[in-house]
Copies of this chain bind each other. A is one copy, B any other.
Amino acid sequence: MRKVTIQDVAQYANVSRSTVSRVLNNNSSVDAELAARVMVAVRTLDYHPNRAARRLRKQTEDVVGLLISDIRNPFFGSVIRGIEDEAYKQHVNLVLCNTDEASSKIQNYLQVMQAERVSGLIVVPTHDDNHDILREVQADGIPIVLIDRSLTYESFDRVKVDNINGAFHAVNHLLEHKYRRIGIIYPEVETGYERLQGYQKALRSNGVEYDSSLVEVCGYTIDSSHEATKRLMAQESPPDALFTANNLLTLGAMRALRMSNIRIPQDIALIGFDDMPWATELYTPLTVVSQPTYELGKQAFVTLYQRIKNPKMAYQSIFLTTSLIIRESCGCLPS
């Protein structure tokens, strides 16, 4: 079963290859009758243009690279779905790359994406040292939109969530309910820092002093948060409330608390970042800062697509807002 090429279609329709190409890319005008003949040929022969050839010729086409840290984090599942639904509409494909927050993998994937001549990139940047590589790729003519985290740098399109405010409202809520020793567990990434800032801001605006013994930096895993929580609770005067900076860390904290028989919210209040389908079914239904994950992905793709179509467009920064969903873990609702 030989592959059908544009040549076959041309022959069948009795036109030149260029004409076939023209009707398929409907840019320049083609005689209606010829066009019709071509379409018939395309259909009867079930012709699908070879994308590799097209890409080689056009130097780019219809593939977007996606660099995220780890697909197993359910946060990304939803984001990607938002991206994909939009991408599907425009017939663009997504190449998935897990970077594990590792510079070496990012670098490697970036090179590959460049070699692929992808038409754009959606990336969750990790460390500041990615900046230069990212700029290089961008300078090479590949549009990039930064998602979730955006570095401190300008001159990239960015779609992100207002982490500072999200964290601020969460911690403020705790403060309003008279919790005073509020612990925080956050990872060393930009979103983590921002959530810490929101935490600090809430403290300040309530006249509560910042106590570094309540602050725990941790990794990206449940286990690492489990350990951090244990450290926090083992102190002389442990926190009376806890704010965890993402869904995985929340799970780790709950595990640690459960194992130490510390009850939520009776012994400690808890608010987590990220809403998830299981948040309502946890042993204490979780109060959360909910992020518009799907929307995040959707906006990222829309922005990228705009830039692809119009490379000279001014850089955009889209901020999405979070919402505080109050359930039982923060202790202000009767359980």
Contacts and interface: CB of A to CB of B under 8 A. Distances in A.
A115 B49 contact: yes
A69 to B, nearest CB: 11
A278 B281 CA distance: 10
A275 interface: no
A181 interface: no
A248 interface: yes
Contacts of A76: 77
Interface string A13-53: 00000000000000000000000000000000000111111
A94 to B, nearest CB: 5
B248 A277 contact: yes
Contact of A282 (B72, B78, B91, B278): B278
A95 interface: yes
Contact of A283 (B80, B91, B140, B282): B282
Contacts of A111: 48
Contact of A93 (B3, B55, B78, B112): B112
Interface residues on A, range: 35 or more
A117 B51 CA distance: 8
Interface string A73-101: 11011101100110010010111111000
Contacts of A66: 96
Nearest to A70: B81
Interface string A91-123: 101111110000001000001101111000000
A251 interface: yes
Q: Which of A251, A255, A277 has the most C-beta atoms of chain B within 10 angstroms of its own C-beta?
A: A277
Contacts of A95: 63, 93-96
Given A53-B56, A55-B52, A282-B278, A78 B84 contact: no
A221 to B, nearest CB: 10
A313 interface: no
Contact of A77 (B71, B93, B112): B71
Q: Which of A72, A73, A117 has the most C-beta atoms of chain B within 10 angstroms of its own C-beta?
A: A72
A298 to B, nearest CB: 13
Interface of A: 1, 3, 48-53, 55-56, 63, 66, 70-74, 76-78, 80-81, 84-85, 88, 91, 93-98, 105, 111-112, 114-117, 139-140, 222, 248, 251, 254-255, 258, 276-278, 280-284
Across the A-B interface, the 3 shortest Cβ-Cβ residue pairs: A52-B55, A48-B115, A52-B56
16 contacts: A49-B115, A51-B112, A51-B115, A52-B53, A71-B81, A71-B84, A80-B96, A84-B98, A93-B95, A94-B95, A222-B277, A251-B277, A254-B281, A276-B278, A281-B283, A283-B283
